[in-house]
Structure 1
Amino acid sequence: MNQLKTASLSATSTLYPVLLTISLVHLLNDSIQSVIPAIFPIIQQTLHLTYFELGCIAFANNFVASIMQPVIGWYTDSKPLPYLLPIGMAFTLAGMLGLAFSFSLGLIILSVTLVGIGSAVFHPEASRVVVMAAGQRRGLSQSIFQVGGNAGQSLAPIMTILIFVPLGQFGAIWFTVIAAIAIILLMYIASWYRQQLLVYEFPVRKERTVTATNKSRNKKVGFALFLIVFLVFVRAFYGAGITNFYAFYLIENYGLSIKDAQFYVFLYLVAAAVGILSGGPLSDRFGKKNVILYSMIASAPLSIILPHVSLAWTYPLLLLNGFVVVSSFSVTLVYALELIPGKVGMISGMVFGLSFGMAAVGAIALGGLADVMGLKFIMVLCGFLPALGILTVFLPSEKQIKEWNAENA
């Protein structure tokens, strides 16, 4: 931990001890977040919940986090608050404590809302830490950070098998220990973060006289940001279908047990974590726009045929699709940060916060459709979502973005 306190920041050096530590905390944070879908099969049976009610629980967690993320990011862009990181994790700890003892739908929603608040605080400020520690390896650094989150998410099926099947809902109490460990690590990160604020300067977009050229450029930037948020929403919507409902689909259509169905979801999430780690370095070499485009287009045929294949084929398809579709996850954020430099907290909160908020609405919609139309219908519907990645062709090139930023320097 001394390395975190003594590391000196430069414009070119990549501070791997900081990146690995914040990635580890991301793993712990998102492993706690993944408790919520992991516990769905248990509370559905014990509380006799409908798919729509399960969607409401997912909505409460994700929507609160998504609404607060850009607001917190916007505020801390002008006034960074390093020690907000451990404070946010304290909300997560309280949420896990509440979840272990909640035996009504209302109390469960309240508990997951507290967990959502903790996530909303963590992601914008953690993204700022990653930017400060990245040096010139921004794609790789975001991949290191994001792979921690995806690794944490991939633990959800294993937690169902090892914790919630034998222990039931009360097994959530063990995650208060994980939250406490994360708080300790974040105290060290916050100390490093506070010291680096004395020497680090984020790029600032200077105010200029408004001209017709500026107006035209600003419209193009606004459209590009809207498109980025939409593409992240599409990817998140598809991910919500897999992580929240695919296990139920396997149970219903293939006769699998809860335990066996969770292994398939685990496979998808592990492949996604590997894909994220690969996407950053690929974008540093081949360009961010290219990685975003090809990751979604290549996954489209895989996701379309997934609901129609035999059980034996679901393993390789989930493995390949998880790797491909999520490989541009961290790349998308780096692209957005270059599109609008100097607004790390707000942009990271907007790109991931608001888009996942829309995906939370999607979780309710998917749950309602599953109750009415059946699980296979929503799996088939979700399969066509990655094809919308073709819209990436309308994003400005990275060369164009550099020219815009040079004009604004």
Structure 2
Amino acid sequence: MTVLVAGHAVDDLYQGAVPAVVPFLVAERSYSYLAAAGITVAATLLSSVVQPLFGVLTDRRPMPWLVPVGMIVAGAGIGLCGLSSSYLFTWLAVALSGLGVAAYHPEAARLARRVSRGGHVGMGWFALGGNVGFALGPVFVTPVLAFGGLAASPVLAVPALVGGVLTWVAQRGARGNGGQPEIRAGRDDWRQFGRLTVVVIARSMVTFGLGTFLAIWVAQRVGGLIAGSVALVVLFGVGAAGTLLGGVLAERWGRIRVVRVSYALGVPAVAGVALAPGPAVYVFVALTAVTLYVPFSLHTTLGQDYLPNRLGTAGGVTLGLAVSVGGLAAPAVGALASAATLQWALLSLVVLPLVAWVAARGLAEPVRCGLEPR
């Protein structure tokens, strides 16, 4: 599990790396806003579309080698993106990274379920790794490219190479020790999984909307770029703690109740981000982080229990799609901010946790099957 958590952090670091690379592309190559947006779309669109397809493929035939290979490909794409002045080459390199991210998640989620024996806390740790990696993307990328420019981009692939090799070694060791038990399959419940998918997409949209515009809003509301950066630290830092808290709460109160209460509380929390005066906004940013990240790992365990015969598909949608599809909705929030105000754009995000809460009201706790040897 330690290797899986660290590997998830490394893999999702390359999703968080894309927004950090874009400003350097704009500065060195004079990309337009449209061209810069195209780079972001290259990563998010391909990853969100292809990820469920990898899930379907791995359900037909397990492909554990996709975990280290997907990680390495994700890093290689980012490593290559600065080596050519050709926009097409750069776009394809970033798209390759998105493809690697998509290949990684379904099989990694299956392995995490197996190693954690279906436990909520274990999956919470696995989800935490991805959230931490995403947040560390800019922290890793910025000093490397600030010091060496885009020509130093191959350095960015080093964590993926190291992580991929370590994961491969750990997988071989697990096979040599007989592996972990699998969850015994039951009946797939597509109706419940469809409801859960609505919850996942709504949560992803509000998370990306806030992540994109929160720093700008808080800088205007409180004053100064540092104030905006602090807001992002609060959002991602409290969110990381919330990811673990979700597993603990689910063990005591049940997953469905925790998911419903989280999104119900998310409505006033997101509204507070848009309406709270001055430094009080930080309180609502922290509350919003809790409400959005507590259910994160629970989506994955619920999805896998709703589709026990299609764990790859469940992981691809609840874990992979959750991270990427929200990026496609961020431009709509920006368009609303341009047409009205940024405050109204952020206030419109209140609708999304409300949608998640309504969809979650139709969820039922799946019957969890026992464990059996591989």
Match of 2:83 in 1: 101
Q: Which runs of 5+ in 1 are unaligned?
A: 1-18, 207-217
Deviation at 1:50, TM superposition (A): 5.9
Match of 1:283 in 2: 250
The SS at the match of 1:155 is: helix
Give the 3 Å change call, closer, same or farther, for CA 356–325 of structure 1 in structure 2.
closer
Match of 2:354 in 1: 387
Match of 2:202 in 1: 234
For residue 12 of structure 2, the aligned residue among 6, 9, 30 is 30
Give the 3 Å change call, closer, same or farther, for CA 40–373 of structure 1 in structure 2.
farther
The SS at the match of 2:294 is: coil
Residues 85-131 of structure 1: per-residue CA shift (max 9 Å, x gap): 22222212221222233556544432221111111111111111111
Residues 32-80 of structure 1: per-residue CA shift (max 9 Å, x gap): 2211123344445555556655443333212212222222222222321
1:81-92 mapped onto 2 (5 Å cutoff): 81-92=63-74
Deviation at 1:293, TM superposition (A): 0.8
Match of 1:57 in 2: 39
Q: Sequence identity, in percent?
A: 23
Match of 1:145 in 2: 126
For residue 53 of structure 2, the aligned residue among 71, 82, 85 is 71
Q: Which runs of 5+ in 2 are unaligned?
A: none
Alpha-carbon distance in 1 for matches of 2:337, 2:150:
24
* 1:402 and 2:367 correspond: yes
Match of 1:328 in 2: 295
Match of 1:120 in 2: 102
For residue 186 of structure 1, the aligned residue among 167, 187, 199 is 167
Deviation at 1:350, TM superposition (A): 2.4
Matched residue type, 1:187 = W
User: 302-311 vs 139-148, which deviates more?
Assistant: 302-311
For residue 132 of structure 1, the aligned residue among 114, 123, 132 is 114
Alpha-carbon distance in 2 for matches of 1:371, 1:120:
32
Match of 1:223 in 2: 191
For residue 326 of structure 2, the aligned residue among 345, 359, 363 is 359
Contact 1:28 1:152 in 2 (8 A): yes
Give the 3 Å change call, closer, same or farther, for CA 184–384 of structure 1 in structure 2.
same
The SS at the match of 2:185 is: coil
Matched residue type, 1:387 = L
Alpha-carbon distance in 1 for matches of 2:52, 2:202:
19
Alpha-carbon distance in 1 for matches of 2:178, 2:93:
34
Contact 2:22 2:39 in 1 (8 A): no
TM-score after normalising by structure 2: 0.86
Contact 1:267 1:319 in 2 (8 A): yes
Match of 2:316 in 1: 349
Q: CA RMSD in A?
A: 3.0
TM-score after normalising by structure 1: 0.80
